[in-house]
Structure 1
Amino acid sequence: MTPAFLLNSSRLTKDFGIVVLSAMPMIENKGSTLLAAALNMKWYIAYLCTCVGSFLPTPFLLKQGGNLLDKLRRYPGAGKALNSVDAFVAKHPRFFKRHAYFSILVVISIPFTGIGIWAGCALCNLLGLEKKRSLWMITLAIIVSGLITTLTTYGIVIGVRSLKLLF
């Protein structure tokens, strides 16, 4: 898929491409918003597409993540690290009961940390957080992160375009 293909494609194809791209790990809504701005998509459509795409893998990751962690415990290095995290959580239950969900929300919603939905779901599974409440916090984090990323990206794009008009 070349950029020329995306530039000349229909709006539905661009929207679908942004949704698929934002569902990928490490790219998520941060990278897909940049592509949407480069494709001259309207900011609210880009925001909606990136939020939907970022949310799509979340229920699956929360549901299946525990199984993956159990498989990782079989390996000596990973098992030792996971057991030390479990011991830390068991040692400080009051802290995790009080602050874990809000911490997940803050860490995921700040787009400049590089930690996205995939890592947030892994953290929720690793810490043994309640799935339903984790899903709500991650959804809220997707909304906030998408809003921050979209407004920042489109603000910079509009600023650069207005500078072009001056010169």
Structure 2
Amino acid sequence: MFQSLFNWLLGAGSELAVVLISMVPLVELRGAVPLGVAAGMEWHTVLPLAYLGNLIPIPFVLFFGEKVLDWVGTLRPFTGFVTRYKAKLESKKDKVTKYARIGLFLFVAVPLPGTGAWSGALIATLLEMPKGKALLSITGGVLAAGIIMLIASNGVLGVVNLF
């Protein structure tokens, strides 16, 4: 499904496709970097575009995320998903709270299912973390995740050859 979406977006240009895919919740930079690499884009093009695209929605999520999530949860087809998603966020809340900003950074940086900038911003909102400090932790985490995904997409030896 994501490959066909990426191919459709390639009609507008691979750069725009990487930015748009990295803005999608749950896919984010973690999906955009491997697809950009697979499309033959250079790492020094893919990484900044995916980073930028992943961060564009985050200030809005920090300020309005909980309200939007609550509203989407009132829509019949999404009620179950939102309930499960909030429960998953709540289950990870203790780990993030324990270590505050470094916890949020690690939560965003480690590319595991259910983690990322969107989830990190929602957790920061639920924890009522200061928006500036949360944004700093999230931006650092997204950069670390991008480097991890670049290495994973090219392989360790492939990354050495990039330089």
- Same fold at TM > 0.5: yes
1:15-164 maps to which residues of 2 (within 5 A)? 15-68=15-68, 96=97, 99-155=99-155, 158=158
CA contact (8 A) 1:43 1:150 kept: yes
Runs of 4+ in 1 over 6 A off after TM superposition: 72-75
CA, structure 1 residues 25+72, in 2 after alignment: closer, same or farther (shift >3 Å)?
closer
Q: Give the drift of 1:151.
A: 1.9
Structure 1 runs not aligned, ≥5 long:
160-167
TM-score, length of structure 1 as denominator length: 0.70
SS of 2:115 mapped into structure 1: coil
Give the TM-score normalised by structure 2. 0.72
1:93-114 CA-partner distances (Å, limit 9, x unpaired) = xx94x72111111011011354
Which residues of structure 2 form unaligned runs of 5+?
Answer: none
Q: CA, structure 1 residues 26+66, in 2 after alignment: closer, same or farther (shift >3 Å)?
A: closer
Residue by residue over 1:44-90, the C-alpha shift from the partner in whole angstroms, topping out at 9 and shown as x without a partner, is: 11111110111011001001124346769999xx6xx89xx7xxx9x
- C-alpha change, 1:43 and 1:129, in structure 2 (3 Å) is same
**Aligned Cα root-mean-square deviation (Å):** 3.3
- Count of paired positions: 141
Residue 142 of structure 1 and its aligned partner are, at CA, apart by 0.7
